[in-house]
Amino acid sequence: MTIASNLGFPRIGRRRELKFALDRHWAGELDEAGLLTEAARLRATHWRLQQGLGISHVPSGDFSLYDGVLDTACMIGAIPPGYGWSGGPVSLPTYFALARGTRGDTPGQPALEMTKWFDTNYHYLVPRLAAGQRFELTENRPLALFEEARAAGTRTRPVLLGPVSFLLLCKPADDSDPLDLLDGVLPVYASLLRELAEAGCGWVQMDEPCLALDLPEKARVALALAYGTLAGGRQPTPDILLASYFGAMGDNLATAIRLPVAGLHLDLVRGAGDLDAALEAMRPEMWLSLGLVDGRNVWRTDLRAALATARRVATARGGDRRLMVAPSCSLLHVPVDLAQEDRLDPEVKGWLAFATQKLSEVAALARGLDEGDGAIRTALEASDEAARSRRMSARVHRPEVAQRVAAVTPDMERRASPFAVRRTGQQARLELPAFPTTTIGSFPQTAEVRRTRAALARGEMTEAAYEQAIEGWIAEAVRWQEDLGLDVLVHGEFERNDMVKYFGEQLDGYAFTRHGWVQSYGSRCVAPPIIWGDVSRPAPMTVRWSSYAQSLTPRPMKGMLTGPVTMLFWSFVRDDVPREQVCRQIALALRDEVNDLERAGIAVIQVDEPAFREGLPLRRAAWPDYLRWAVACFRLATAGVRDDTAIHTHMCYSEFNDIMAAIAAMDADAISIETTRSRMDLLDAFAVEGGSSYPAEIGPGIWDIHSPRVPTTEEMAELLALARRRLADRQIWVNPDCGLKTRRWEEVRPALENLVAAARRMRREVAQAL
């Protein structure tokens, strides 16, 4: 019998119940017991839902109050000093201190560094390890959740992050290699697996997504050692399903197949090339999990095509075929339930599937494989009709958009002059001091701002009244920034709901959901738009508000846009044409907006590309092609302006060393990056002494806005001093790590006062040294 399986379910709840519980807890409105009760209720709801949809292997341990990698670090005692932990179970305050930092009258501990989870828009917290790190099983969380589910009537398959991927995701606090700590980690994993087996757990899912990466031989040896120890020993353990996803295992497939595990999961959406080699090499007694349903995008599965693949596999395996059908990866990356979307265009809605619907597809495929087409005739017919409707829709492909993309010339992707020439014109126009100060764009989205936007959406407020409210907040923000002494101002983005959704709502080819939320990190959720057709800009999108803000001040006002690569990767993208084609369409729409902002007198235009690096393919062999079109699209969007108009960009937590040539090729006049948590280590890629040829200006963040801590002037000045060791003074801008939308004014005001004070201190020190 084919097993209908799931690798992970969205944690946040149908209506973001987890987010609101966390926010209430952090605000002091919900105590620890109340938060844990709500978390348990959500878990039980999700287990029942999956079981009711026909899923036989329901995951447990996929739920987290903040992040699964942090959960693993806390479970095995991988906690850096300074957070008050001395052994045993990690308290909830310590857990959140690691995730968010601490604050108080004295400087607290910073949060752990945060970065993107492989090539997704989910962020994980990066554990810090050092040579000689000791590990212990602080609490067998997978066992506790397995027993919690069993008591609720659901027998689950615990999910664990595998030991090798965990170590590879960690960052050394010294010059050591985290993989050298494997011998210390394995006894902890062995203990928790033994306890699971003793409790009657039949299967565990061990996630080793590192198998989709370019792995050194040392990592392959580590995998062999790890699973030889955990699955090949004499102690009782549950059967292990080894799961990799986000791409093909490729040259790592042979390593995975040789491991003494009971089953292997293949991502057949992004790694379909693994299938034939796996069928040829896998042991007959090994279970094969087929990731046939896309866990990262929202399009319906072509059930007939997927069923054909499953039947081919069943025929090849013969006899006791030992097959599971599953999503390609955890469903963490898609919204919970399409049934909530009562305002989506009916035609577009018919092409979609969210997590709940995808599990119905999984169950249908498993049943169809066992019982034949007749058993799932209704599902097959609905799938066929959705595929036909989407393929034949005249709304999807627009000839005028295709013609404009075809007319792009190389000159449209080049600025008129090199940066050295442009910089002179920009200095003359902007007249900025050394170490100019600015922010990344957004100011707090207060409850009043959100209520006003909601009132407009419900028809309870007129457009004129809404615009008057926005103008008031903008005017107040401009006055406050002038009084504070910031050099380049922003209008605050009070009219924007999200940095992608706001633009997508004004572009043709996009659709939007009411409840299509996915987790970005912690309680931060986003509702990615859906690109279903050709993209174009019917009218200006931001000029009205940027122009108004500029009219209020003689200081430079930044125009704020989201770049084409980020608009692409932070959306659910259509899968019927190449991504490069979609990105070029977006770039042309943004080019029109950039040019309109310039004509309106905006001298600094920031085109944010926080997704630029996360878009990199997991395998280096595919990098050159991606970087070619990603750089070209950014330049296509920005290269039409005059020399004295400054183009800025912003990128989030990333490792830049290996893509510096591409970042330089983007030809922005300034780039701001998140560097606080790394204490400027990320600047090494840009460093003068490091041999980088990066010519432009850089704004290294000196305030970690993902933490509620308000850093002191001394802390910020110290970070600026670290930046000066790596960059020339003429390059440095002073800014926070990221936008301030999620922070409170009570945090923003003192933090920005300290930021301006730190910049002024640095100017004085430099002047005195001359």
Looking at the annotation, which residues are catalytic? 706
As a whole number of angstroms, the distance between CA 737 and CA 368 comes to 51
Q: Which tokens in the block code for residue 697?
A: 């200006």
Residue 202 half-sphere exposure toward CB, CA atoms < 13 A: 7
In 3D space, the residue among 768, 767, 770 whose CA is nearest the CA of residue 433 turns out to be 767
As a whole number of angstroms, the distance between CA 627 and CA 642 comes to 25
What is the DSSP pairing of strand 123-125 with strand 114-116? antiparallel
Question: Angle at the Cα of 279 (from 286 to 312), degrees rounded to 5?
Answer: 110
Task: Answer yes or no: are the C-beta atoms of 491 and 478 closer than 8 Å.
Answer: yes
Q: Beta strands of 420-543 (E only): which ranges? A: 508-511, 518-521, 524-526, 530-536
In 3D space, the residue among 525, 531, 527 whose CA is nearest the CA of residue 511 turns out to be 531
Q: Look up residue 492 and give its DSSP letter.
A: B
As a whole number of angstroms, the distance between CA 378 and CA 367 comes to 13
Residue 506, phi then psi, degrees to nearest 5: -105, 10
H-helix or E-strand containing 385? helix 377-392
As a whole number of angstroms, the distance between CA 544 and CA 562 comes to 17
As a whole number of angstroms, the distance between CA 491 and CA 769 comes to 36
Residue 731 half-sphere exposure toward CB, CA atoms < 13 A: 22
In 3D space, the residue among 483, 492, 495 whose CA is nearest the CA of residue 443 turns out to be 492
As a whole number of angstroms, the distance between CA 399 and CA 37 comes to 54
H-helix or E-strand containing 515? none
